[in-house]
Amino acid sequence: MAFNLSHIHEKLGVTSSHDGTPVNSITLFVLLLCACVVIGHLLEKSRWMTESVVALIIGLFTGIIILLSTEGQSSHILLFNEELFFIYLLPPIIFNAGFQVKKKQFFRNFMPIILYGVLGSIISFLIVSLGTLQFFQTLDVGLLDLGDYFALGAVFSATDSVCTLQVLNQEETPLLYSLVFGEGVVNDATSVVLFNAIQRFDLSHITSVNIMQFLGNFLYLFLTSTLLGVAVGLLSAYIIKKLYFGRHSTDREIALMILMAYFSYMVSELLHLSGILTVFFCGIVMSHYTWHNVTENSRITSRHAFATFSFMAEIFIFLYVGMDALDIEKWKFASNSPWTFVAASAILLGLVLLGRAAFVFPLSFVANLTRKSKSEKIGFKQQVVIWWAGLMRGAVSFALAYNKFTSSGHTQLQGNAIMITSTITVVLLTNVVGGLLTKPLIRSLLNPHPHSYSIHSEKSLSLPLLLNGQESVANMDTGNPLDSNHTVHYYWRMFDDKFMRPVFGGRGFVPFTPSQTDRALY
C-alpha cells in the first residue's frame, strides 16, 4: 500500500526548502553529515579545530552554494521547527552526557557545579535581561515587550556544553572538564526552566509575592524533574534485573534502556517539567544500576549506541545552524537597519562576557571556601579557562530563540528578525572563536601534561569498553559518587549496599564471573 512520504515529513515539521522532494533533501543532508564525520576524523589531532566548528563551517559553505544555486531564495536543504530539536535531537545528547559522566568527579565537585549551573545561570540571566532592557531601548530594534527582554536573558544564559566538551580533555584537565561539563548540563536545564517560567509569568504585575511564587515554582520544577529521572532510572534497573532479558535476547535489553530513557524525557515534558534535567539524572542512575544488570555484550553495545546517537545529533544541529546563518528571509528584514543589528549583536556579546565573569570569579571564591585541600581549590588561571570555555552559545540558545521570536523558523517582524540574526551571530562568534582559542588558552595558562590518549580516543569505537569481563578504567568510573575520605560517601556506600543494590542491582552486589556470562548478572 502506497503512502505519502511528503505528508509524513510535513507532520514532523521537516520540509524541503526548495523544489526538490524531501527524499532528495534528506539524502543530501545525510551526505553532508558523512562529510562532517570524515573531515572531523582527519582533523582529530588538531589543536585548533573541533567537530562542532567543522560542522558549522561545512554548513556555512553549503548554505552559500544553495544560496547561489537558488538565486538568493534559500540557504537550506531542510527546514524544521524548534520542537524537533527538543523532542528528537536534544534527549540523546543530554542522556549520553549523564550516562557517560564520571560520577566520582561529578559528585565530588557537586557544590561548585550547582553554584555555577543554578546560581550562576540566574546571575547571568539577570545581567543579560536588565542589560538588554537598558541598552535596546536606545536602539530602533522594534517592538519588544518586557517578556522578550527576560526571554533573551534565558536564551543567552545557556552555555553550549556540547562544543565545550570537545575542546576540553578529561585526562589532561579532569577538574576543569568536570566543572564545565557539569555546569553546562545543569545550566541548560536551568535556562530552559527559566525560559518556560518566564513564558507563564505575568510580568505586568511584578510584586514580592509573585517573585516568591516564581522562585518556588523554579525549585519545584528543578526537584521534581530530578526525582522523576531517578525514579525512571531505578524502574529500568529493577525490570531488567528481575526479568533478565539477556537470556533470550540482548537486543531487548538495549531496546528497553533506550525506550525508558526517552520515556523519562517525554513524561517530564508531558508534566511540564524540565526534560533535560530528568533525562540527565536518568542517565546517571542507569549507568550506576541498570548498565550493570545487562549482559556483557549489551554493555558494550549500549554504551557505543548511546554515544553514537549523541554524536549524530550534535553534528546535525551544528550543520543546520551553519546553513541557517545565511537564511535570506531573516537577513532581508534585519538588513533594513544594519547598524541596529550590529549594535544589538555587540551588546548581546558584551553582556554574555560580562554575565559569565560576574558569577564565575565570585562563585569560585565561594566554592574554594568549602575546599580544605589546596590541591582541590580552583585557581585563578583555572577560573579564567572556566570563564572562557563556558562562553560558547549553541543549540539550546538557538532553539529557545526560535521558540520565542519565530514561528516554525520564519519571521516577518523587524524586531524578531534582528533578535534571530543577532542570536546566530553570537552563536557563530562564540563557537568559532571560542572553539579555536580554548585549546591554546589551556596550554598557555595551565600547561597540562598530555596522556597517552585523549578523551576523543576514549570514545572511539576501536577502544574496548570492557577488559577481561571488567570495566575499562579509562571509560567507566569504577568509584562511587563521592571521595572515600568523606563521611557522606561512607554513609552513601552503606545505604547503597544495604538497600539499593539488593533491589536494583549494580556493580559489586554480585561478583561478576566472565566465564559465566549467562548466569552472572544480578
Pairing type for strands 466-467 and 15-16 reads unpaired
Region 469-483: mean pLDDT is 40
| Contact indicator for 465, 304 with CB cutoff of 8 Å | yes
Which residue type is seen at 122?
I
Give, in words, the CATH class of 79-504. mainly alpha
Of 461 and 395, the one with more pLDDT: 395
Q: Which residues pair with 44 in a beta bridge?
A: none
Across the chain, what does the average pLDDT equal? 75
pLDDT above 60 (res 510): no
* Percent of the chain topping pLDDT 90: 9
pLDDT band at 469 (very low <50, low <70, confident <90, very high): very low
**Each residue's pLDDT tens digit, 153-212:** 888 888 876 666 666 666 667 778 778 877 887 887 788 878 877 777 766 667 777 778
Residue 519 pLDDT = 40
Residue 428 pLDDT = 82
Residue 410 pLDDT = 52
What ranges do the domains of the chain cover?
79-504
* Percent of the chain topping pLDDT 70: 73
Residue 478 pLDDT = 40
pLDDT band at 482 (very low <50, low <70, confident <90, very high): very low
Residue 508 pLDDT = 52
pLDDT band at 143 (very low <50, low <70, confident <90, very high): low
44 φ, ψ to 5°?
A: -55, -40
The residue with cell 528584514 is 333
Q: Which residues pair with 471 in a beta bridge?
A: 466
> According to the per-residue pLDDT averaged within each range, which of 6-15, 48-57, 313-322, 409-418 is highest?
313-322
Which residue type is seen at 294?
V
**Each residue's pLDDT tens digit, 217-241:** 778 888 898 899 999 999 999 998 8
- Provide CB contacts within 8 A for 238, sequence distance 6+: 503, 504
**Poorest-confidence range of 54-58, 246-250, 337-341?**
246-250
Give CA–CA dist 282/285, Å, rounded.
5
